[in-house]
Amino acid sequence: MSSPSPRIFISYSHDSDAHRHAVLALANRLRHDGLDCTIDQYVNGFPPEGWQRWMETQIERADFVLVVCTPLYLQRYRGLSEAGGRGVNFESVVISQTLYDAYYRNTKFVPAIPDAGSVEDVPLPLKGFRAFRMAEDYEGLYRYLTGQAAVVAPELGEPVVKQPHVQPLQGKPKPASSQGEARKPKEQHKMSNTMKAAWLTGAFTLLAALITGLFILFGSSNNTTHGESSPIITGDGNQMTTDKPDPATTEDKK
């Protein structure tokens, strides 16, 4: 079962015959497209309750009130024009009071302007809302009145769980894997220094051994004697004797 058609009322000023015909064409088009639209031109003669009560009732019963904004409508809305009809003047009071009672939360009054009109003709209480051009923006106006958005939000999907990107705090140790990777170049460098120290230690040890050997070798050569055949220097160093006794000397001593 389809939802009931929204009730539409058009508030406008009788600027000219051409303007009245344009408003009537808009009302006829809305009714042709299934919206229960009402304007004063549909009333034969006058309503039994009078125009004031009729206008007030139409505004109260309507789901939406199209406010057709022109320079003359704005003047009469603000009570600045005393010439011509007083319908807009009366309707403006009802519209303003309705907005005032709703704390200007507007879900009912829709600004509409002729295709050659200007948004500057929109009354101040309605300037904060979108104004539709009567023919050019008809589709957008119809969508708004019927609750059919041009773009519909897609259905909500399942939430996607994202893994957090953990940043290490300053001064805190890094994970073991990171430490191991970071330590590898240092360990390699450390091993290289150790090998260098071992080579240097070995070289110094070998050099010290060579020097010690040379000292021992030369020291032994200087202190060596040749037994009995080695000459012994005695006295003032001008005579050389041997360990064997001289036979002639021995005989003399005997």
Look up tokens 């009354």; give the residue.
Answer: 123
Which of 9, 124, 127 has its CA nearest to residue 57? 9
Which of 42, 66, 63 has its CA nearest to residue 54? 42
Predicted confidence at residue 2, as pLDDT, reads 60
Q: Are 37 and 10 in contact (CB under 8 A)?
A: yes
- Say whether 239 sits in a helix, a strand or coil: strand
Rg of the chain over Cα atoms, rounded to whole angstroms, equals: 61
Which of 105, 151, 98 has its CA nearest to residue 128? 105
Residues 6+ apart with CB under 8 A from 41: 20, 23, 24, 27
Predicted confidence at residue 221, as pLDDT, reads 59
Predicted confidence at residue 254, as pLDDT, reads 40
Which of 118, 12, 119 has its CA nearest to residue 67? 12
pTM over 0.85: no
- How far lies 211's CA from each of 200, 204, 206, 219, in Å? 16, 11, 9, 12
Predicted confidence at residue 190, as pLDDT, reads 55
Instruction: Report the alpha-carbon distance of residue 233 to residue 84 in Å, rounded.
Output: 165
Predicted confidence at residue 196, as pLDDT, reads 76
Predicted confidence at residue 233, as pLDDT, reads 43
Predicted confidence at residue 251, as pLDDT, reads 44
DSSP 154: P
- Provide the greatest CA pair distance for the chain: 196
Instruction: Report the alpha-carbon distance of residue 88 to residue 60 in Å, rounded.
Output: 15
Residue 251 burial (CB count, 10 A): 8
Tell me the CATH class for 7-146.
Answer: alpha beta
DSSP 106: -
Q: Going from the first residue of the chain to its last (254 residues), give the mean pLDDT of each consecutive group of 10, the final group possibly shorter.
A: 83 95 97 97 95 94 97 92 78 92 94 95 94 96 96 93 86 58 53 73 82 77 50 45 47 43
At CA 120, angle to CA 114 and CA 126, rounded to 5? 90
Predicted confidence at residue 225, as pLDDT, reads 47
Tokens of residue 166, six digits:
């953990």
